[in-house]
Homo-oligomer: A and B are copies of this chain.
Amino acid sequence: MLEERYHHGDLRQALLAIAKQQLTSQGFETLSLRAISREAGVSHAAAYRHFPNKEALVAALACAGFEQLKAFVEAEVMQHSADPREQFFQCGIAYVQFALHNAPLFRVMFGVSGVDRLHYPATHAAAQASFGVLVGTIQRGQAAGLIGAGELRQLAFTAWAAVHGLATLALQDQITSQQGAIDSERLVRNSAKLLWNGLKYGQT
């Protein structure tokens, strides 16, 4: 039984967990340090012992989001370890699915909050790491001779941008399929096929 202690134990983690929960349930706009602290059963200023300000808390949230994204995409990709082309597709499909299923978190990760990620090295590193999954996938495609040469990171960046664009536009209801729901898999496959063809025929 948890008694009321003066010292919480691991308030930092608790705050992050509650923040993530409130983020997903109420969106970013109404996210408030005070509400989070309240929910944690702690005074409104306690958070400042663990985060210099709200922005830092949000940056930490984004950091965790990138780690989650990386893990998710990696897992999906691994299910198709035999076929580099399918791996490439799965990368994108997983990315968009993650965005749609974790919309508020995804928005926080990508600038809703106006956080300059370069000011938060951990968050930036996590973002780069998640990007690395895509780079690796393309690299395997090249190794297998299925993709023409080209500057690796540039290719990866192009692919990333394409998929990222799909995800963000989809999140905005900018795309509304006739059936109402968004078929993210079909969406990505269409886009990925184009890119894959382009890659195959070299980028001249």
Given A114-B27, A194-B199, A194-B203, also A161-B169 (CB < 8 A): yes
Contact indicator per residue, chain A 44-81, by CB within 8 Å of chain B (1) or not (0): 00000000000000000000000000000000000000
Copies of this chain, how many? 2
State in angstroms the CA–CA spacing of A117 and B194 once bound together: 29
Kindly identify, within residues 1 to 58 of chain A, every residue whose CB is under 8 Å from any CB belonging to chain B.
27-29
- Distance in angstroms from A39 CB to nearest chain B CB is 21
Nearest-neighbor residue (CB-CB) of A197 within chain B: B198
Per CB-CB distance, the 7 closest pairs between chain A and chain B, nearest first, are A165-B165, A194-B198, A161-B165, A164-B165, A162-B162, A197-B198, A161-B166
State in angstroms the CA–CA spacing of A176 and B190 once bound together: 28
